[in-house]
Amino acid sequence: MGEKLDRRKQYTRKVLKESMIDMLKQTSINHVTVKTLCEMADINRSTFYTHYRDPYDLLMTIEDEIITDLKNYLNSYSFDQDEESRLMTKKLLEYIEDMPETFRVLLNENSDPAFEKRVMNVAHQFVMSNTYDLDETVSDYYSTYIISGAIHVIKAWIAAERPESTEEMAHLIHAFVNGGTPER
């Protein structure tokens, strides 16, 4: 009986998350209501409140899961090795490619504007902890420059519905980061 409840809870949370992403395609988080989420997910309000306080809590849960996944990905690679850096970028792009609609929505104007900053902060902390040769101030600026550019390239890739493969994008981003013009 406990396993069925767990599956039901997992299913409910899944449909609520999917409904939130679908709603954010059309409207800002400020206009998402529990009522409309429940109608879209085909659940009742009391079920929603069993899992989340409000739409913002649901959105924060979605974002927190992604941030945790990104931290895990980044911490499993060593940034200072050239090939490993490219592989890490490819793996992150594959993660994004597995949930393109989620990232397209979370990185657009209808969602929480703090999400992009949170992603940048995670990447910034990782780059700062793996940049050894630079003065701390220079390293901070370098990290900000690299991460901002990479995130905007990824946003453009997602918006274009990913015409390039993750391998091609990893190569492009890696070339940009290293100050070069990529060869195709």
**Confidence check: pLDDT of 18 > 90:** yes
How sure is the predictor about 86, in pLDDT bands with cuts at 50, 70 and 90?
Answer: confident
**Confidence check: pLDDT of 150 > 80:** yes
The closest alpha carbon to 146, from 79, 48, 58, belongs to: 79
Q: What interhelical angle do 136-159 and 166-177 show, nearest 10?
A: 150
pTM score, whole prediction? 0.81
Domains of the chain, by residue range, sit at 2-177
Q: Which CATH superfamily is domain 2-177 in?
A: Tetracycline Repressor, domain 2 (1.10.357.10)
| Cα 109 from Cα 151, distance rounded (Å) | 15
Q: What interhelical angle do 55-75 and 2-24 show, nearest 10?
A: 100
Q: What is the CA angle 76-134-127, rounded to 5?
A: 25
Distances in Å between the Cα of 21 and the Cα atoms of 46, 106, 122 are 21, 8, 22
The closest alpha carbon to 93, from 179, 173, 148, belongs to: 173
* pLDDT recorded at residue 128: 67
Highest mean pLDDT, choosing among 35-39, 91-95, 160-164: 35-39
How sure is the predictor about 184, in pLDDT bands with cuts at 50, 70 and 90?
Answer: low
**Confidence check: pLDDT of 90 > 80:** yes
Distance of CA 81 to the CA centre of its chain: 24
**Confidence check: pLDDT of 161 > 90:** no
DSSP 31: G
How sure is the predictor about 70, in pLDDT bands with cuts at 50, 70 and 90?
Answer: confident
DSSP3 helix / strand / coil % (the chain, rounded to 5): 75, 0, 25
